[in-house]
Chain A
Amino acid sequence: MGKTFKKPEALSDAHTHYCPGCTHGVIHRLVAETIDELGIRGRTVGIAPVGCAVLAYNYFNCDFQEAAHGRAPAMATGIKRVRPDLMVFTYQGDGDLASIGMGEIIHAANRGEKFTTIFVNNAIYGMTGGQMAPTTMPDQRTSTSPFGRKVEEVGMPIKMAELLAALQTPAYISRQTVIKPKYITKAKKAIKQAFTYQLENKCFSLVEVVSTCPTNWGMTPVQAVEWTEKTLLAYYQPGDYKVPA
Chain B
Amino acid sequence: MAKVLMKGNEAIGEAAIRAGCLNYFAYPITPQSEVAEYLVRRLPEVGGVFLQGESEVAVGYMIFGAAGAGVRVFTTSSSPGISLMSEAISYIAAAQCPAVFVNIMRGGPGLGGILPSQADYLQATKGIGHGDCRLLVMAPASVQEAVEMVMKAFPLAEKYRNPVMILGDGLIGQMMEPVEFPDQLKTEPSNKDAWATNGMDHRKSKTRNLVKSLFLDPVQLNDNNLALKAKYDRMRAEEVMSESYNTDGDYKGLIVSYGTMSRVCRTAIDMLKTEGIDVGMIRPQTVFPFPEKAVAEAAMKPSCMHVLSIEMSMGQMIEDVERSVKGRIPVSWYGKCGGDIPTPEEVIDVVRERIA
Contacts and interface: CB of A to CB of B under 8 A. Distances in A.
Interface of A: 41-45, 47-48, 54-55, 57, 61-68, 71, 74-79, 81-83, 85-86, 103-104, 107
B65 interface: yes
A66 B69 CA distance: 12
B199 A82 contact: no
A52 to B, nearest CB: 13
A83 B69 contact: yes
B55 interface: yes
B23 interface: yes
Given A45-B199, A86-B199, A75 B65 contact: yes
B199 A63 contact: yes
A73 to B, nearest CB: 8
Given A43-B200, A57-B212, 11 more contacts: A43-B201, A45-B69, A54-B214, A57-B210, A63-B199, A63-B210, A64-B208, A66-B214, A78-B64, A79-B66, A81-B23
Interface of B: 23, 25, 49, 51, 53-55, 57-69, 71, 73, 87-88, 91, 95, 197-202, 206, 208-214
Between A44, A71, A74, A107, the greatest number of chain B beta carbons within 10 A of the residue's beta carbon is seen for A74
A63 B197 contact: yes
Contacts of A43: 199-202
Nearest to B87: A68
A54 B49 CA distance: 29
Given A74-B59, A78-B63, A107-B58, A66 B73 contact: no
Contact of B212 (A65, A71, A79, A83): A65
A222 to B, nearest CB: 31
Contact of B201 (A42, A55, A82): A42
Contacts of B214: 54-55, 66
Nearest to B62: A78
Contacts of A64: 197, 208, 210-212
Given A42-B201, A43-B201, A57-B210, A78 B54 contact: no
A89 to B, nearest CB: 12
Contacts of A48: 212
A57 to B, nearest CB: 6
Given A42-B199, A83-B69, A74 B212 contact: no
Contacts of B53: 74, 77, 107
B299 to A, nearest CB: 42
Contacts of A47: 65
6 contacts: A42-B201, A45-B69, A65-B211, A75-B65, A82-B49, A82-B66
Contacts of A42: 199-201, 206
Contact of B54 (A55, A86, A107): A107
A66 B200 contact: no
B91 A79 contact: no
A226 to B, nearest CB: 34
Given A65-B68, A75-B68, A85 B62 contact: no
B68 A104 contact: no
B200 to A, nearest CB: 4
Nearest to B213: A66
B192 to A, nearest CB: 12
B65 A62 contact: no
Given A63-B208, A66-B212, A79 B200 contact: no
A81 B51 contact: yes
A220 to B, nearest CB: 28
B69 A77 contact: no
A81 B65 CA distance: 10
B208 A82 contact: no
A68 B91 CA distance: 8
A74 B62 contact: yes
Contacts of B210: 57, 63-66
Contact of A62 (B57, B91, B208): B208
Contacts of A79: 65-66, 68-69, 197
